[in-house]
Structure 1
Amino acid sequence: MLAVFAVGPDQPFASLGAVPWETLGAGDVVRVHWRETAYHEKILISSSGTADRPLMVIGVPGPHGELPVIDGDGATTRAQTEYSHADTQTRGLLTVARDATDFYGFKPSHIQIVGLEFRNAHPDHSFTDAQGNERQYAYIAAAIFVERGEH
């Protein structure tokens, strides 16, 4: 592991938005701890791990095995997040795609996402984009949207 980012109650990072997602790399781990209320935050993963050092996002269960919940209804987007296209923001709650700084054709790879519950990435729900605008999810939205990725 290069770095561990612990998110949740009594953790170094109180919110998902406090994690510097744009700088994560091989071996980094984001541990999302269960809390009584859902996390209402969107995530863009635009970097890669390696086969032997994947980039990991891991849910840490609650006292009775409850999974941490990431809820798209009213979710906010980290202001530093630079999606490659404005409409990419509408397609997922957790999106795996290149960001605006990556070359065309780049594909994030070797990413593991486990132990989390995702919900409400649907056109009936809205979110706040990286520019501060309220938007609706696209009709093709998914809880986890992989625009480009490998492995």
Structure 2
Amino acid sequence: MKSLKSNLIVLGSVGLLFLGACSKGDQASDTNSSPASPSVASQPASSPPAAAPGKATKGGQVVESGAYHLEFVTEKEATGTHLDFYLLKEDNKEPVPNAKVTAQVQLPNGKQQSLALKYDAEGKHYAVVFPGKEPGQYPVKVAADINGKKVEGRFTFNQ
């Protein structure tokens, strides 16, 4: 009987180790920006630093979509949450200024809110202030239309 209990404990421990190892890879893609993240005003006006594919250049969540690098950064403000979206060409990390960008935000109560992001030439990114302040997790689908080519990324942020 003692042998059976020992075997169950060992088997359970090994299972937990495997589960922990599998979940560590998801942490990088599920990071959320905090108020301590760098603000747009403190970013230099020069082009973003070169980064390996999948690496955040602005400290946000990253999605690689075809030939494009998408980065989503949030910052809480008094009037809501500032959403910054960096749309860069994958090969040279140059900003894409001529896209039509929208964000579909799902509220914690399940309702959807659509927002149009405007291009900020000085910051070389798209931005909008999301007015919601309800606590919870907000899944966001950002869609960009670049001269008829559709590029999408899915992100989340917390209030």
TM-score, scaled to structure 1: 0.28
TM-score, scaled to structure 2: 0.27
Greater strand fraction, Structure 1 or Structure 2 = 2
Say which structure, 1 or 2, has more relative contact order (CA 8 Å, 6+ apart): 1
Q: Which has the larger radius of gyration?
A: 2
